[in-house]
A and B are shown apart, each in its own frame.
Chain A
Amino acid sequence: MAEISIKDIRKSYGRTQILHGVDLNFKSGEFVVILGPSGCGKSTLLRMIAGLEEISSGEISIDGTVVNDLEPRDRGCSMVFQNYALYPHMSVAANIGYALKVAGVPRAERDRRIAETARIVGLEELLDRKPAQLSGGQRQRVAMGRAIIREPKVFLFDEPLSNLDAKLRVQMRVEIRRLHKRLSATSVFVTHDQVEAMTLADKLIVMNKGHVEQVGTPLEIYHRPRTRFVGSFIGSPAMNFFDSTVAPEGNFVLFDGIRVAIDPALGRDNAGKPVAAGIRPEHCRLVSAGTANSVPAIVDFVEELGSGRIVHVEIDGQNFAVAMDEGQLFEAGSSVGLQLPAEHIQLFSLETGLRLDDDVPALKRTIKTTVAA
């Protein structure tokens, strides 16, 4: 159990700066997920917490102690690596117990703790095997066992599920969550998979190009992305955007020459501003062509998901994804109308990409209704 505080952390390799001043605070026992596209600096940040990467400037403290100059072994963290990094010549038991062996824990005590850890991660039967004789999921478990046995204050996960197949990934995700519930150590989990991020996180951190874009609960981040990048990164398919200008009256934006109504409270403050308007695919509606208040669109193609479908439409050369339930059928090439409900349209500054209504109560109401639904 430990708090982690990260103050103005920067990292550069020679001239190239990887992290541009990151400030974060993780509460004790929290499950923190750092999400971002590859190359955004998320792994570097994790490795700096672990002590595997030098800190160019700034300060990291764990439980109030500044750890900048501490060796990894003195930081009380343990880490699960993407490729597991098991010791190939050691048995499962030896792999799990290696940290204790290094620490000089007596044999009997060590064996007892190996057995206990093996029970937690479900490897009791396989203790004598070598890593090469294990399946991907089992190797993953050994890596977790190796992390658990030291009873660390902090767990660090560096994309631990990305080498597993889709089904196993879902299963291990559940197991990691369960394990966290049981051990309740502060956990930091780095991933580029937004489903993993959404399902695991107590606190979700979205990073891009060495900056923290947003910190919040998964639902906050999904429903109120702070920047255009977050909106376009989270959600599958991503949020739809179109560039426009808020009408002087503040109650609509133009999209392909059609007036699309927006929340007047939001529009009033930003009248006349150039904006990027965003809306989630599940909030768009398709109606028959020519319906009032709809933007004419051509159906490009349809993705069937079984539980629903995603219809990709084209408006003036721009693609829009619309998520729909089963039932309605649309054929590729047909003309339709696209309706964008005002209460779901979010506005971002065209220059900075920042959300325009960082604290307008009207939008918060929207979140609640969506969550309830």
Chain B
Amino acid sequence: MIERTPILNAVTYFIMFLGLLLILGPFWMIFAASTQSLAQVNTVPFNFMPGADFLHNLQAAWQRANLGPALFNSFVTSVLVMTGKIVVAALSAFAIVYFRSPLRHVFFWMVFLTLMLPLEVRVIPTYNIAADVFAPVRWLIQTLTGIELSLQWNLLNSYSGLVLPLIATATGTFLYRQFYMTLPDELAEAAKMDGARPWRFFIDILLPLSRTNMLALATIMFVYAWNQYLWPKLMTTEAEYRTAMVAMRTLVPSVNSLPEWNISMAGALIIMLPPLIVVAVLQRWFVRGLVSTEK
């Protein structure tokens, strides 16, 4: 559409600029605060000019929150959650789209319904299960056969505990299902004629074709996993398994302590960095994977 409307253009640009300001403003505040000294950061009104204590604040935040191990934990869990989500999504969508089972729609909608049950809603039962994974199995076996088993598996304070409850993904399954449905049926049939069994077809054809889709999902899921707070907080009682988000909590000043917001902000800046890098690197595929399909 080509139109000559200078006033409308100016208005559009103004609105876009306003949006940009709304998004970047808080970032700038975090950055400015993280460079100021304790006295500067507590002046009213807030001074938007950067100060000179940036490196000092970063160092203090790193040491106080013990960010080294925390970032490592966050990174490991995020990568595991991301990978797990992609694998589960790709496989469950494969089952839903390519296998003619009478219940596949039921299963799909069941998966879809979990979109309405985020972790926060089901956090208590999830915790119960994580504390004693085989509880339902034991109960089932006991009611059916009367035998009491002593199977025990406790996920608290472990990487599996941090990762497994986050892996099931309705969003990912849905995204993958939509992608598979854009592929022509003949592709699967051609592979069948070429002698490929379903697993072979999945590995050789579907996975390589879903590359952009996969990277888009990776971006969303990495950020999602990185930003988890409630679950790791509940799950980990030992400092050894503390993630960056949980560690961040120790940097937030409490009622009776010094209001060292400059150090909290420096910590926030460090923790923000990895997902920013991931998004920056993957954003090209992210947009492509969500918008269109390569064919």
A residues neighboring B (CB under 8 Å): 50-52, 71-73, 77-79, 81-83, 85-89, 98-99, 102-103, 146, 150
A78 touches B184 (CB 8 A): no
A85 touches B190 (CB 8 A): yes
Given A85-B187, A88-B294, A89-B208, A52–B192 Cβ distance below 8 Å?
yes
Given A81-B186, A81-B189, A85-B184, A102–B209 Cβ distance below 8 Å?
no
B192 touches A72 (CB 8 A): yes
B residues neighboring A (CB under 8 Å): 184, 186-187, 189-196, 200, 204-205, 208-209, 294-295
| The residue from A77, A82, A87, A89 contacting B193, defined by CB atoms under 8 A apart | A77
B195 touches A103 (CB 8 A): yes
| The residue from B195, B208, B294 contacting A102, defined by CB atoms under 8 A apart | B195
| Chain B, residue nearest A156 (CB) | B193
| The residue from A73, A89, A146 contacting B192, defined by CB atoms under 8 A apart | A73
| Chain A, residue nearest B196 (CB) | A102
> A-B pairs with CB below 8 Å: how many?
59
Complex-state Cα separation, A150 to B192, whole angstroms: 13
Complex-state Cα separation, A89 to B295, whole angstroms: 9
On chain B, the residues within 8 Å of A51 by CB distance are 192
How far apart are A23's CB and chain B's nearest CB, in angstroms?
Answer: 25
A83 touches B294 (CB 8 A): no
On chain B, the residues within 8 Å of A98 by CB distance are 191, 194, 196, 204
Ordered by A's residue number, 21 sampled pairs between the chains whose C-beta atoms are within 8 Å are: A50-B193, A52-B193, A72-B193, A73-B194, A78-B193, A81-B190, A82-B186, A85-B184, A85-B186, A85-B189, A87-B190, A87-B191, A87-B204, A88-B209, A89-B209, A98-B191, A98-B194, A98-B204, A102-B195, A146-B190, A150-B194
How far apart are A187's CB and chain B's nearest CB, in angstroms?
Answer: 15
| The residue from A73, A82, A85 contacting B195, defined by CB atoms under 8 A apart | A73
On chain B, the residues within 8 Å of A86 by CB distance are 190
Closest 9 CB pairs of A and B: A85-B186, A73-B195, A99-B194, A85-B190, A81-B186, A102-B195, A89-B208, A72-B192, A79-B193
On chain A, the residues within 8 Å of B186 by CB distance are 81-83, 85
How far apart are B102's CB and chain A's nearest CB, in angstroms?
Answer: 13
How far apart are B206's CB and chain A's nearest CB, in angstroms?
Answer: 10
| Chain B, residue nearest A79 (CB) | B193
Complex-state Cα separation, A286 to B191, whole angstroms: 56
How far apart are A338's CB and chain B's nearest CB, in angstroms?
Answer: 48
| Chain B, residue nearest A97 (CB) | B194
On chain B, the residues within 8 Å of A73 by CB distance are 192-196
